[in-house]
Amino acid sequence: MTTIVNSPKGDPAVREDTPGATRKPRRPGRIRRLGLPYLLLLPALLLEILVHLLPIAIGFVMAFKELTQLYLRDWGAAPWAGLGNFDVAVDFNEPVGKALLHSFWITCVFTLMSVGLCWLLGTAAAVFMQETFTGRGFLRTLFLVPYALPVYAAVITWAFMFQRDNGLVNHVLHDQLGLADGHPFWLIGDNSFFALLTVSVWKGWPFAFLIVMAGLQNIPKELYEAAAMDGAGIWQQIRRITIPSLRPVNQVLVLVLFLWTFNDFNTPFVLFGRAAPEAADLISVHIYQSSFATWNFGTGAAMSVLLLLFLLLVTGIYLVLTSRGRKVSRG
C-alpha cells in the first residue's frame, strides 16, 4: 500500500531529521501525492467493477434463482431456488447432469490435447527459429497469421473447409492424397472432436510460439557457448539450458493457454452452431445452450458458477505446485 510514492532523493531522511516546523506545510502535498495514484486508478477500478465484478455477482445471484422465461423481464422478482439449480446441474443420474458431466470430460481431454500440442508446436518452432537464416522474418510473420486473424472469419473458413461434400479437407485427404476411404464427416459425429482440435491448435500455437520466442531472447548466449565448449550437443543444450531457462515463461504460458482453451466459446460455436455434436460438446457452448436454448437461466448460471470455481481451484493448485517446484529447484 505504501511503497509507491516517495521520490528516491531521500524524503525519508528529511522526515526523520526535521521536526514539526518543516513537516506541517508539506502535508497537503504528501497527501495529494499519496492519493494521486489511487485517483488515477479509479477509472480502471470503476470499469473493472462494472465490467467484471458486477456481472459475476449478478451471475452468482441468478444461480440461486428460479429464472425461467416467466421472470425474464424482471429477474429480481424470480423466486429463490436455494441450491435447486446446483442440484439439477450435478445430479449425474439425470439427463441434465449427465450431459454436463459428459461435456466436462470432453472439455478436459480436449484442453489437455490442445494445450499440449500448442505448446509443443510453439516451442519447436521458436527453437528452430533461433538460428538466423534467409527467410526467417517471413516465416515468423507467416506463423503469426492465425493469431492475427479475427476468430470468426478464421473459424467460418474452417467450417467451409470441413464440409463433407464440397470441403477442401476431404478433397485433399481423399481425392489428392488418397489417405481417407470415401468422404468422412467432420462437422457431425465422432470426427467433430478432431476437427475442433485442429482449429483450436491452429489458432492457439502461434501464441505459444510468440511467448517462447520472447523467452528465448533472455537466455544469455554465453551459456550455450560454454556448454558447447564443454562438449554438450544440441539436445543436451536444449534439455539442460533452454527448457530450464524457459520455466517461468512456460509457467504463465501453459496457465493462460489452459484457461483460454477450457473457456473457449467462439471456436466451437462458430464451427458447430447452437447444437454441438456430442463428441465435441465443449462446456462453454453447453452452458450457453443450457441457458439460452432451453431458457433456463438459473441452471445455466449455476453451471457457470461451478465452472468458475473449478477453474479457480485448478489455477490455485497449479500456481502453488509450480511456485513450490521453482523454489525447490533454486534451493
Q: Which of 6, 68, 245, 251 binds another protein (CB under 8 A)?
A: 68
Query: Is residue 145 a contact point for another protein (CB under 8 A)?
Result: no
Pick the stretch among 63-71, 200-208, 217-225, 260-268 that binds another protein (CB under 8 A). 63-71
- When computed from its CA atoms, the radius of gyration of the chain, rounded to whole angstroms, is 27
- Find cell 471456436 and name the residue: 267
Given 15, 32, 35, 109, the residue binding another protein (CB under 8 A): 35
Residues near another protein (CB under 8 A), total = 43
**Distinct helix (H) and strand (E) counts, the chain:** 16, 0
Which residue stretch of 4-12, 19-27, 118-126, 158-166 sits at the interface with another protein (rule: CB under 8 A)? 158-166
| H-type alpha helices, 176-246 | 192-217, 221-229, 234-237, 243-245
The residues in 162-201 that bind another protein, with binding defined as CB under 8 A, are 163-165, 183, 185, 187-189
Q: What is the signed CA dihedral for 9, 13, 19, 24, rounded to 10 degrees?
A: 30
The three-point CA angle 99-313-87 to 5° equals 40
36 binds another protein (CB under 8 A): no
Q: Decide whether 74 or 222 has the Cβ nearer to another protein.
A: 74
Which of 7, 13, 17, 74 binds another protein (CB under 8 A)? It is 74
How far is the CA of 12 from the CAs of 9, 19, 47, 188, 218, in angstroms? 9, 12, 35, 69, 36
End-to-end CA distance of the chain: 30
User: Cβ 147 to another protein, closest distance in Å?
Assistant: 27
The site map against another protein for 263-302 (x = CB under 8 A) is ----------xxx-xx----------x--xxxxx--x---
Distance CA 231, CA 237 (A): 10
Contacts to another protein by CB under 8 A:
1, 35, 38, 42, 45-46, 49-50, 54, 58, 68-70, 72-76, 88, 94-96, 99, 163-165, 183, 185, 187-189, 273-275, 277-278, 289, 292-296, 299
